[in-house]
Each structure stands twice: as structure tokens, then as C-alpha cells.
Amino acid sequence: MNSSSPDRPAVVVRGLSAGYPGVSALEGVNLQLGRGRITALVGANGSGKSTLFAAMLGLLPPRTGSVRLFGQAPAKARRRNAVSFVPQHEQIDTTFPITVEQVVMMGRYTHMGFIRRARSADREAVAEALARTGLSQYRRRSIGELSGGQRKRTFVARAIAQQAELMLLDEPFAGVDRSSERLITELLHQLAAAGTTMLISTHHLEGVHQLADEVILLHRRVLAAGAPEDVLTDEQLARAFGASLS
Amino acid sequence: MIEFLLSPFEYAFMQNALAVAVISSAVCGMLSSWLVLMGWSLMGEAVAHSVLPGVVLAFILGIPLGAGAFVFGMLAVALIAGLSRTTTMKRDTTIGVVFTSLFALGLVLISATPSQTHLMDLLFGNVLGTSRADLYQVAALAAVTALVLLLKRRDFTLLAFDRTYATAIGLRTGVLTAVLLILLALTTVTALQTLGVILVVAMLVIPGATGFLLARSFATMLLISSSVGAVAAILGVYASYWWGVSTGGAIVLCASGQFVLAYLCSPRHGLAAALRRRRASSHATAVG
């Protein structure tokens, strides 16, 4: 299968325009994500980061252009468990009666059969993901009883247990304490070293140099892409964030 | 005591009534856990009320009432989805327009049909008039619904909890949503005989809401919501036998009573917990 050849980019987006009725959020976006690389997607609120994620996840059909994940259409890649997603904290229903362990087990559903019965390999993967995220002692807590950082780590643990080749993380450091931020950054580096491709949206500029191999600066289209020191210049950031930084 | 409990069931119609009430209320209660978590309470009401013209038409045409109910339940869902897609109206608005219109159509059809007495039972239910054939039909539909819900419960729960992730990992969320709506229509059909079109929605919401107040995990919530449905049906059937009150009304009130108990006693959401928290915080202020 050519999708596993190491030199090809994991994600190729060409000429992508997408948006919602009456709003064109992305215009002619071109980008590539290298295999096993951590790419930070940096942009102001409303710059189209979430729209780009939605298009990559197949939640939003492109108006023009295309998204290829490992050489495949997004729907096909998703169905063969190539894609994982870590939601923003506002998207999580904290009143839902579900425990940490049960959330992480959801990461294993694509490895299970029709009725999603967990086998020992699934339980081991969940236990390992909980251990790596430092959540083993909280596994029976319901998610409403966690701190912001613990909750975010739960969803990272779910993505780890899933063992997908591509992980999309939507603002993983928003509402997260320092120690969770450090732990998550370290885990992401470990996952990348093991070959996972990562796209991380953030408007949190401080940590980007330590976190990412590459940065894409987005404001409805790609303003700049490349190494963090080349992209995150004052001049480029001023273009991306406009009045919001001044 | 035993005699008090058993004497109503010397009559075959009481046996049928109890069986059909317990089966339909338990399966409604089961489904209501997902409806509450999906935020679909209003959708439940919409489907339940929209089946009325379908049932009346089925009666006129002499086909199974369940078939007519099912077709109109799905029609309501399709109309709501279509209106939501083609206009920018908020969802509760489209739901309100669709189900009230269909319900009104049902009322007009009833009034235009000879033999209105039987049809008025559709509005309020008439569980004491349950025949063996009705019982078998309800039992079969309930079995199918419960089987699908239990087999795919993890997928439905993921759908309710985190639809984006469900999509990301390749679950067919559109199909799962459609299946859940079909089950909603089927469940409504099972509960028509017991509760009638007007009160069906109570058993699609109250048991799930009760489970939500008490449970910390979804499995517990499911167990509580099904039990609340079944217990309410048993108590309601007794109440209506001994005091001659409306069975549907009595069943729903028994469910409401369980909800109130849960609200008062819930360890996290309830009134007792709120009072405890207030006392703890005022104590803390007094000390600090």
C-alpha cells in the first residue's frame, strides 16, 4: 500500500476553500504535513483553524480543492482508523455520566467488532494510555470531577489508545495547568518520535518553539509555513493577528 | 396482601394491560437515557405527537396502526431535517412548526372519521383495552428496539458524548442518528396503547432525567431509566385498577414521583446536596 511509504507527506491539502452558509472561512489553502512531524497551526480566533479541522475530518465538504490523508480521501482514511482527534475543552459535555476509563476505551472502538466488546488487548492499551497520561488513579472518576488539565489528558489518552497515524488536536493547551501542559508536550514528542503525524491548533504562542517542528500561520489562507523561527517573526504575527496583538 | 396484589390479575385484560404497560414503559425508559443525553427531549415530543395522523389513516385504511404511526414519525423527522437545512430557523422553531401541524391534522382526521370513540383512545391511551394481539405486537417491537439499543449501546453513547470524535474515527454518524430516530418512532408505537399520543413523551424524558440525576456512569443511568419506566408502569396499573383513575396519567405521575425523589436525594445535583453544600460553605465562612 503506497500510503505507508515514508517519504510521502502524511497530509496534502490543495486549493482548499470551505466555510459555512454566508461565511467563507478558508480560501485557497495549500499545505502539507510531514510524517511523524509536529505542526502547529497558529492563527487568531476566526482565522479558520476549526474550519480547516472540520474539512480534514470530513465534517465539512470543501467548496473547492481537496484533502488527502495518506494518499486517500478523508472518509476512507477515517474508516481505516488513520485519524484521531482531541477536542477543545468547550466542546466537552462535562455533565455526561461517563468515567475517565470509559472515555479512553472509546479510542479502541475502531479496533473492536460490531458490538464493541473490549478484549484484553484493548484493556491493556487503555491501561497504558492512562499510565502515560498520569491518570491511572483517576480512571473511575467521572469526567465532570476532573480539573481542566486532567480532563484534557483524558482526551489525549483516548487518542493514544486509538493508535492512529494522524492526530488533530484543537487548542490542547487552553484551560490547562502548567504541569499538564508540560506532560502533554512531552507525550506529543514521544508520539511523533514513534511516527505519529500531528497537527495542533493553538493561539498560545509561548510554547510553540518547544512544541512544533513546523508552524503554519493561518488567516483564512496560509500566510507562512516553515520552521518556527522563520514563521513566528513579529512582522508575520502582526499580519496574522492584526489588531488583536497591538 | 398477596391477595391484594394478585386479585386484579384474575382478569385476562388486566394481565395484558400490565404486561404491555411494563414492556413499553421499560423500553421507553431505556431509550430516554440516550434522548436526554443527545438533547432530544423536544425531538421525542415531536415524533410522539406527529404519529397521530398516521395512526388515524391506518385505522381508516385497515392496516396495522403501528405502520401508520411509524411512517408519520419518520415523516416528521424528515420535515424537521428538511426545514432546518433549507432555512436559518432555530431547531426548536422548526420542531414546533412541524409537530403541531401534524398533530392538528390528526385531530381533524379523527373528527372527520365515523367511530370516533376508539380513535379518542389514541390521544389518552387505553391500556385496559389491550388485546393479546396488541400485546404480541408491542412485545415484538420492544424486543427489536431493546436488542438494537443494547447491541449498539456503545456507539450511541459515543454519538451522544462526542459526535466529532465519532466522525473522526470513521463511525457512520448519519446512519447511527437515523437508527436512533427509527427506534424513537418504534418506541412511540409501543407506548401508544398505554399512554396515548399526548403522554408518550413523558416516558421518553422522565426516566432518563431521573437516571441522569442519580448515575455517575452510563450503564447505571440506563439501568435506572429502564427500572423507573417499569416501576411506574406497575404502580400506575395498580393505581388505576384500585382507584379507577386514568392509567396513562397514573403511570406518568408515578414516574414523576420517582423523579422528584431523585431530585431531592441525588448525591450531586439534588436539593439535599445543594443544602449540604450551602451549609458547608457557610460553615467555612464562619470559621474562616
Q: Does A98 touch chain B (CB under 8 A)?
A: yes
**Would residue B165 count as lying in a domain?**
yes
pLDDT (tens digit, 9 = 90+) per residue, A47-82? Answer: 889 899 999 988 888 999 999 999 999 999 999 999
Contact between A109 and B158 using a beta-carbon 8 Å cutoff: yes
The total of other beta-carbon atoms located within 10 Å of residue A4's CB is 10
How far apart are alpha carbons A103 and A107 in whole angstroms? 7
pLDDT of residue B116: 65
**Would residue B5 count as lying in a domain?**
no
- The DSSP annotation for chain A comes to -GGG-TTS-SEEEEEEEEEETTEEEEEEEEEEE-TT-EEEEE--TTSSHHHHHHHHHTSS--SEEEEEETTB-HHHHHHTT-EEEE--GGGS-TTS--BHHHHHHHTTGGGS-TT----HHHHHHHHHHHHHTT-GGGTTSBGGGS-HHHHHHHHHHHHHHHT-SEEEEESTTTT--HHHHHHHHHHHHHHHHTT-EEEEEES--TTHHHH-SEEEEEESEEEEEE-HHHH--HHHHHHHHGGGT-
pLDDT of residue A199: 96
Contact between A106 and B161 using a beta-carbon 8 Å cutoff: yes
pTM score: 0.91
Give B184 to chain A, closest Cα distance, Å: 20
pLDDT (tens digit, 9 = 90+) per residue, A81-134? Answer: 999 999 988 888 999 999 999 999 999 999 999 999 999 999 999 999 999 999
Q: Are B202 and B220 in contact (CB under 8 A)?
A: no
Which of the 8 DSSP states describes residue B62? T
Suggest the residue from B162, B217, B224, B266 to mutate for an interface test with chain A (most A CBs closer than 10 A). B162
**Would residue B1 count as lying in a domain?**
no
A79 → closest Cβ in B152, B155, B170 = B170
**Would residue B200 count as lying in a domain?**
yes
Q: Does A92 touch chain B (CB under 8 A)?
A: yes
Q: Which residue on chain A is closest to B165 by alpha carbon?
A: A85
Copy the grid coordinates of residue B188. Answer: 412511540
Q: Does A138 touch chain B (CB under 8 A)?
A: no
Task: Collect all residues of chain A within an 8 Å Cβ-Cβ radius of residue B157.
Answer: 98
Q: Under DSSP, is residue B169 helix (H, G, I), strand (E, B) or coil?
A: coil
List the domain range (segments joined by +) for residue B262. Answer: 11-287
How far apart are alpha carbons A60 and A113 in whole angstroms? 28
Q: Using the structure block, give the residue that is written with the C-alpha cell 472561512.
A: A25
Q: Which residue on chain B is closest to A163 by alpha carbon?
A: B169
Amino acid sitting at position A179: S
Confidence of residue A246 (pLDDT cuts 50, 70, 90): very low
Task: Examine the pLDDT at A7 and tell me if it is beyond 80.
Answer: no
Q: How far is CA B50 from the centre of its chain?
A: 14
pLDDT of residue B224: 97
Task: Collect all residues of chain B within an 8 Å Cβ-Cβ radius of residue A114.
Answer: 151
Task: Examine the pLDDT at A1 and tell me if it is beyond 80.
Answer: no
Mean pLDDT of A153-167: 96
Query: In terms of DSSP bridges, do strands A23-33 and A11-20 run parallel, antiparallel, or are they unpaired?
Result: antiparallel
Q: Does A81 touch chain B (CB under 8 A)?
A: yes
Contact between B169 and A80 using a beta-carbon 8 Å cutoff: no
pLDDT of residue B5: 78
pLDDT of residue B117: 63
Average pLDDT of every residue of chain A:
90
Number of domains present in the structure of chain B? 1
Instruction: List the pLDDT tens digit at each of the 288 positions of chain B.
Output: 777 778 888 888 889 999 999 999 999 999 999 999 999 999 999 999 999 999 899 988 988 888 898 899 999 999 999 998 898 889 899 999 999 999 999 999 998 888 766 777 888 888 888 889 889 999 999 999 999 999 999 999 999 999 999 999 999 999 999 999 999 999 998 998 899 999 999 999 999 999 999 998 999 999 999 999 999 999 999 999 889 899 999 999 999 999 999 999 887 777 777 777 777 777 665 554
In chain A, residues 15-34 whose CB comes closer than 8 Å to chain B = 21
B259: domain CATH number?
Answer: 1.10.3470.10
pLDDT (tens digit, 9 = 90+) per residue, A182-241? Answer: 999 999 999 999 999 999 998 778 888 889 999 999 999 999 999 998 888 888 888 888
Mean pLDDT of A127-156: 95
